[in-house]
Amino acid sequence: MNYLITAGPTREFIDDIRFISNLSSGRMGYALAQAARDAGHSVVLVSGPVALDPPERVRLVNVVSAVEMREAVLKTFPESDIILMCAAVADYRPERRHTGKLKKGPDTLTLKLVKNPDIAAETGARKQSRFLVGFALEAENAEANARSKMAAKNFDIIVLNTPAAMAAESSEVQVLFPDGSGRRIGPAAKQEIAAELIRIIDEIRPNRSRQD
């Protein structure tokens, strides 16, 4: 099977040296890529900027911004069977990227932000027979919000975690299914969680070919 996995943060530039981002380390996405490879699958890893070495025998596509990640995902999407949207994509970006370095001025600075493309929702709308796995990081009403996201974005399953997972080497997640059930994994190292997630996906994915 052909896996497409997104990982890491995106950077949305204010000027040529400063940007908006988040604390994602990319560890879970990279662990998932290695686990899928170890399970015998072909893997494309679309990664934002991280300080990690990619797993061997995984095709790495480096991107920086959400717009670049969208382009890379849509380019690889047609040949993918299973898609894991693990990246922490910035919801907004500055409307304008200033050239050079924005000089210090008044005591306050107002940045106008515009929405980034919703890569997961766009992928869900196009998925057809592909198997789509979403990830949700929630702090309040976690399960209810994650289930709403799963339905709205047409995910087959969703993996729920908390802000404590950001940049951490271990984690605990819940895998939520459309029938209302769920399965908890961890606390454990992210490599162990990734291996179990790939096992779950391989067990339940639809046994049918893509119809594009």
Structure tokens of 199?
A: 């096992």
Whether 55 contacts 142, CB under 8 Å? no
For 39, half-sphere exposure in the C-beta direction (CA atoms, 13 angstrom radius) is: 21
Spot the catalytic one: 2, 22, 62, 154: 22
d(CA 127, CA 137): 22
Q: Helices 27-38 and 190-204, interaxial angle, to 10°?
A: 50
Could you confirm whether 207 is annotated as catalytic? no
d(CA 16, CA 161): 33
d(CA 104, CA 99): 14
Catalytic (active-site) positions: 22
